[in-house]
Structure 1
């Protein structure tokens, strides 16, 4: 593994990154997304299976690292209460999944918004 903490996180496998995401978000109580200049959030549609998802990160640094390739995106914080109250129902209604912490290999954990909410609530119970 690298000496760079971001690289170490991004080199984890999908399940390890998902567990890391849960523990960090449960502690910090915020989720990071990327938005463009019009404040529209980044949505990705998988070429493989056509699944549309919102990529999320536990820290702004990880989102910024991902955005370097895109150029015009910036990180935006969403508080966990807002995420649970507004985003989970909205993403579910729009048929969007959540892509948790994309790794260097392009692999990520894709989950339904309600499932992520339940997992985060369980993780918060241990704090």
Structure 2
């Protein structure tokens, strides 16, 4: 299911603090089953946050696209299906010693977590959702 945010919704979720954005991200991803990243000609985009190399991730294309400017003007938002993320990305990111920056916004990196922790949290929430 394709889900599009309205301008009001974008404004609302981008005004949340890092903790609230993390929670929003987990629930949105568990619900919509997609994680959005930015890619360019060389692959996915990385940022440095809390002295760690991170892949920034967002819950919606519209929010990821807010980052496509300046140095990142040649990027595009790309969806990673949740099952692909859980099957391949978690172990790949861990192998590369990368962390995940959850829903960064403005100058703030968002919550930075190890890939395994993100996977665990997503699986928990997805199980809760399916048991209701």
Query: Same fold by TM-score, threshold 0.5 exceeded?
Result: yes
Residue-by-residue CA offset, 1:60-81 (whole Å, 9 max, x unaligned): 0010012234211101110111
Residue-by-residue CA offset, 1:74-127 (whole Å, 9 max, x unaligned): 011101110011100000010000000012342410000000000001111122
**Aligned 8 A contact 2:102 2:109 in 1:** no
1:39 Cα deviation after fit: 5.1
Extract unaligned runs of 5+ from structure 1: none
Distance in 2 of aligned mates of 1:84 and 1:61: 23
SS in 1 for 2:87: helix
- Aligned partner of 1:58 in structure 2 is 59
- Aligned partner of 1:34 in structure 2 is 38
- Aligned partner of 1:8 in structure 2 is 12
Extract unaligned runs of 5+ from structure 2: 1-6
C-alpha root-mean-square deviation of aligned residues, in Å?
1.4
Residue-by-residue CA offset, 1:19-60 (whole Å, 9 max, x unaligned): 000000000111000001x251001123xx431000001110
Distance in 2 of aligned mates of 1:12 and 1:22: 14
- Aligned partner of 1:120 in structure 2 is 122
- Aligned partner of 1:93 in structure 2 is 95
